[in-house]
Amino acid sequence: MNETSFDSQLLHTLTGLADTLVDDYDVVELLQTLVDACHDILGVAAAGILLADESGELELIASTSEASRLVEVMQLGAQAGPCIESFRLGVPIAVPSLDAMVDGGAFRSEALAQGFSSIHALPLRLRDQTIGTLNLMGADEGALPERVLVAARAFADMATIGILHERSLRESEMLAQQLRVALSSRVIIEQAKGVVSFTADIPIDAAFEMIRTYARSHQLPLSQVAARIVRRELRIDVDPG
């Protein structure tokens, strides 16, 4: 992708994301769109957003794939490695070569096994408060180009803004509530994925795509569709075509 095309796509995506920040926007859908943009525009192999719960533990909220291999890598990263280090220190952490990483433990081993060779973790920060991380997995070794890092920082900032929103800046309890809503929505989405996967006899990754496609085509919040599926008020069937 040439520089002009890259800048154009980045601007278009950021503008579109900004337009979604309305009163009733779905924060999980916003974060999902962000990680997808990281993959499509920044050229990384995979991306994921981890948010801290009230006890400070990182939980996966959105990833470019719902397949178990990427989810497991991200969950391991939330326990040890660059993701948790970036969260605790509040600074970007770059590992250009996972193969050369010292004391990477289970995270390093699993990431390499799944074909990842590098990782860059960026904190989601507002002033002195870090609420999570944006994590970019690379298939090749090496540092990210400067323009990609700048764009990734913009996506991380957009994620932070989307989570906090103007109203949550006024009082810390509103921030805690927003984070609880995001984490609760993720739990419901996980349950809905399981329901659709079982009833339609398809992989988890495909189940998530069906749920997300239905939500978009009917202009409904992703978390609302997931809740209806879990309550058995909605059944999504595989298109026979």
CATH number of the CATH domain containing 157: 3.30.450.40
Unique residue bearing structure tokens 């496609």: 213
Whether 213 maps to a domain, the answer reads no
> Do the domain assignments include residue 78?
yes
Domain residue limits at 29: 3-170
| Closest C-alpha to 70, from 38, 25, 103, 29 | 38
Give the integer Cα–Cα distance in Å for 239 and 209: 12
| Position 208 in a domain | no
Quick check: is 73 in a domain? yes
| Cα angle, residue 71 at apex, residues 68 and 142 outer, rounded to 5° | 115
> What pLDDT score was predicted for residue 103?
78
Q: What is the pLDDT of residue 171?
A: 54
Say if 41 falls within a structural domain: yes
Does 204 fall in a domain? no
Residue 185 domain flag: no
pLDDT given at position 135: 94
In a domain, 91, yes or no: yes
Other CB atoms within 10 Å distance of the CB of residue 177: 12
Number of domains in the chain: 1
pLDDT profile of the chain (241 residues), mean per 10: 72 71 72 90 92 86 83 84 92 94 84 92 88 93 92 89 62 66 86 93 92 92 92 82 49
